[in-house]
Structure formats: structure tokens, C-alpha cells
Structure 1
Amino acid sequence: MFLQIVTLLALLAITNGAVIPLGLEPQSPQDGRIVGGTATSIEDHPWQVSLQRSGAHFCGGSIISSNIIVTAAHCLDSPTTLSNLRVRAGSNKRTYGGVLLQVAAMKAHEGYNYQTKVNDIGVLRLQSSLTFGSTIKAIAMASATPAHGSAASISGWGKTSYSGGSSSATLLYANTKIVGRSQCASSTYGYGSSVMATMICAAAANKDACQGDSGGPLVSGGQLVGVISWGQECALANYPGVFANVAELRDWVLQAQKTV
């Protein structure tokens, strides 16, 4: 039933000209990695977590404190509920290892809009606190948007390609470069006015986030600068990946983690 509902949402979005968020397309639990990615250890990305719904990975997230996870708002849409949601931390395997924790509360940005993807950010409060160590660490949220052209990286367990990518049980990452919002919204690329103030882009040839990576981190300068949100297919020329801009949404996160 879930796949039927999500397929209908995808068809409606395509019919209306919308670009589908990267966590909402129909996907098998076996869909598995960043496009153009390289296998990595969790020690190199200790803030990365896997969001698990009914026992299967479906989105990513980032640790910002011992009990708060930042992810994409669209990852918290139905059918995600507190009863079927878990977070795996401390493992580069999405199916085992590390710790698997229950979620006590979740909150999506009140201004999130499915059609425009604006404000695509949310927070989770874990039922118990994480124990920090070499495989589990918090990452600082950026307070300023990185400059156009800045080096960055993405990570996750999403698909290898838009149409039936091969799977990987291991966390992968890819290096990319920041594309500033004004550049991303210009005629140089294909999005135009779809790229809004709460968004930032990143691009590299044949490298991108894809379905199953949503909610995961865009990191630059050792800080969380973006949350994987949406794109036109995956690694498609002239269409960078689009992320929720953490610097623009940081104040909301800081307030939300107090009340969630």
C-alpha cells in the first residue's frame, strides 16, 4: 500500500511539473548508495545516521547533539510515525551495527511546502542520549552560507542512479562543490526560480545524492551546511543537487530542538 500511495504522489508531482523530493520516490529496501560515491568508514562521517522506517533504511540524518537529529521535513511525512521510526547511529552499515534508538518526538518546519520544497528541514529527539566516541559525534551547524565554489561532501545510502541503481550496504560519500543560490537559480542551470532563499545547491560531474539519501548531510569546512532535499533526477547535467540551507534555517533548528 505504501508503494501505491507514493507512486500516486510521484505521478501527481510529475503531472503538475514538480520535482520529486529525494526521499519520496518508490524504493526497495535494497536501494543503496550515493551516485558516484566511494565507500567510507563511519569514523570519517560520525554525525551520519540512518533513519529506519518499519525496519528499513529510507532517509539520512545528522547528529547535532546527543539526542537531536537534523533531517529533511519530507522524510517525516506520512507514513513516517513515531511508532515505526528508529535511528541507527555509529555504523557505516544501514542494516546492522552501532546503536538503534527509538525516537521520542519529531518536528517538521511549519513552513515546509511539498510542492516548492521550501524549508525542507526537521528535527528528531531521541528517546535516549547517544554516547559520543570515534563513531558517534555531533557536527556543528553552519551560521554562514559557504561561498560559491567551496569544497563540500555528501554521504548516504541512497541509489547509485536515478533508474535502478545497484545497492550498497555500506555508507558512501562523494566530494562536490557548492553552487550558490543565485548561481543555481540563474540561466546557467535549469531550475530558475525554483531555487529559493532557504536552499543551497552543490554539483560535481557524475556525482550527486539520490533516492534514499534525503535528510543526510552536505558538509563544508567541517560544518553542516545543507540537508539533502531534492533534485531533477540524480547527477543530471545542468541540474545540481538542492539542499535545505542550514545557515538560513539554523535559528529554526535551535528553537525547535528546545520544544520538540
Structure 2
Amino acid sequence: MRFIWACCLFFAVAQATDWADVRPAHQPQPPLLRRPHFSKNRIIGGENAVEGQFKYQVAVLIEGAGFCGGSLIADDVVLTAGHCINNFAFWEVHAGALNFNNIDEPGRVVVSTNVSVLHEEYNGVVINNDIGILKLSEAVSGPNIAPVRLPSRSQENTTFAQSVARVSGWGKSSDNSSSINVDLKYVDLRVITQDDCLAIYGPLIINENKLCCDADGGASSTCNGDSGGPLVITEADGEATEIGIVSFGVSLGCESGWPAAFTRVTWYLDWLEANAGVTIRP
């Protein structure tokens, strides 16, 4: 049995968590996809972020033991994966962080919360509607802290296929790693077509509210600990827009070559406007 895993990492046991026993559509070796032409740097061994590069990125410590990523979508609201919220009651959000272990680094703001909103149709078995928000007890601000832009209404039907997108997080540096990365890292990935992702994972798992990115044969991908983190594109005005939330991979491993899967943010614009109190651009 092949298992789909969501990418949340637990400090206490420092092991990957299998979140659903869903069999991928077919053989363990995914079909070859056209490879991107950018470098093979990755969150698994990827490039370190620099101060102020990802002002929207936050780290989410779950009940003192679990770890996820997230993004600020308002100065007091964090967007993350549903499985980072489901069945939990307390979160500690670190904004403006680079080296997670350096609690005294300049500009870091830490806020605790017990207020969350999980999507009402979240399904952990097939990892569907994997989206939720945390409402902070106070607004966060600072020179290295700012919300990310959400997609506009005009982008609701955009697939983003073939776009180069950037994902960031503190996830594991390899399948053999026993813990998350200390430093925030990032990598550029290519969004693949819905048909390509569907052919690999099958219709039980892949639907219109998810998108996938090519893992470049296992050289570039997300991994355990990156869950909930933002996948962004850079638009013509130079601003980052979040199009995906790190959701799951396959239990064959982060370096197996299977696509990384994300919650498609454009599918949830109405939900975000209603539950997060944000205004979606036309």
C-alpha cells in the first residue's frame, strides 16, 4: 500500500506523519514530465532566504510539538493547511523569522492563538479542502513582516500551468533528515497541468481545488515541515501572489520524483473573504 502523506513534521518524534492511506493511481515511477530549465536548488538542500525576502512567511508551532508553515494574509490572520489545524487547539505563530532556533533574532514577533477556522468540508482521508486560517490575538508588524497578496477575482479560472512558482519553508532537507531545517529555504517549481497531476495521483485525490508542481525528478520539492506554506508567483508589477498552500506528497519520499500537491487558493476566494475578513481584488 502506498500512502499519501501531508507535510507536517512533529518535533517530539522527528518523523514524517502519514495522514491518509490513499493509493496513488498507478505504478510507483511517475511518467517523465518536461523538466524546467532553472537550477536544481530546492527546499530539500535549497537556497537560504535572506532577511526581508519572504515577509509574509510564518512558522506555526502546533501545541508545542507539531510544525507547519503559513502565510500572513492580513496583519492578524494566517493562511495555512487544514491538516495543520484539524484536531488541534493551540498554535504559536512566528512572524519575521529566518533561523527558527534563534528566538532572539531581530524583528521576530511571536503571537499565540487558540482561534482557528477549518474549512467546513475538510476531508483528511482524501486530503480535500485542505485549507484553514488562524486568527491572531494581536496584529503583527515590523520591517520584515507584511501580508502576501491573494489572487484576484479575474484569476479565478487561471490554471497557472507552466508558470514558475516559488515555495518557501523550513521543511526537511532530505528524506533522511530527522528534523526540519533551521533556516528558511525556498525553491522555484513549475506548475504542471491538471491532466498531468490527475494521471499520476488519480481522481480520488486530484480535483479542481488542487494544483501540482513538477518535482524535477526528485531534485526539487517540498517536504515534511513545509505544510501550510505559501506557493507564490511574481506578477508583472513585481509583487508576489499566493496561488497555492503546501498540502501533500507521496510516502515514497520527498525525493521520489512525484509531484508536490498544493491547495489551489483561487478556489477559495469566497471562503477567505467570508472567514478571514479580507477583501479580494476584482
Structure number having the greater helix percentage = 1
In structure 2, what is the equivalent of residue 196 of structure 1?
A: 207
Kindly indicate whether the alpha-carbon contact (under 8 Å) linking 1:42 and 1:171 is maintained by their aligned counterparts in 2: no
Do the aligned residues in 2 keep the contact of 1:38 with 1:174 (CA within 8 Å)? yes
Unpaired runs of 5+ in structure 2? 16-41, 235-239
Q: Are the structure 2 counterparts of residues 39 and 56 from structure 1 closer, same or farther at C-alpha, using a change threshold of 3 Å?
A: farther
- SS of alignment partner, residue 5 of structure 2: coil
Compared CA separation, residues 252 and 101, structure 1 to 2 (3 A): same
1:178 corresponds to? 191
| Conserved? CA contact 2:72–2:148, under 8 Å | yes
CA apart distance, 1:42: 4.0
In the TM superposition, residue 64 of structure 1 has moved relative to its aligned partner by 0.5
Distance 1:111 1:18, change over 3 A: farther
Q: Distance in 2 between matches of 1:48 and 1:137?
A: 9
CA-to-aligned-CA distance 1:182-224 (integer Å, 9 cap, x gap): 33113xxx21222111101112421111111100011112100
| Matched length | 235
Instruction: Check if 1:90 corresponds to 2:90.
Output: no
Name which of 93, 112, 116 aligns with 2:122. 112
Match runs of 1:49-64 below 5 Å: 49-55=58-64, 58-64=67-73
**Aligned position for 1:103:** 113
Q: What are the equivalent positions in structure 2 for 1:99-248 lying under 5 Å apart?
A: 99-131=109-141, 133-143=142-152, 144=155, 145-164=158-177, 167-186=180-199, 190-193=200-203, 194-205=205-216, 206-221=219-234, 222-232=240-250, 233-237=253-257, 239-248=258-267
Residue 212 of structure 1: SS of its match in structure 2?
Answer: coil
Rounded Cα–Cα distance in structure 2 between residues aligned with 1:26 and 1:51 = 12
Which whole-Å CA distance do the structure 1 matches of 2:150 and 2:196 have between them? 23
Q: Which position in structure 1 is the counterpart of 2:273? A: 254
Normalization by structure 1: what TM-score?
0.82
Pairwise CA RMSD: 2.4
TM-score normalised over the length of structure 2: 0.76
1:56–1:50 Cα change, 3 Å: farther
Q: Is the 8 A contact 1:42 1:48 kept in 2?
A: no
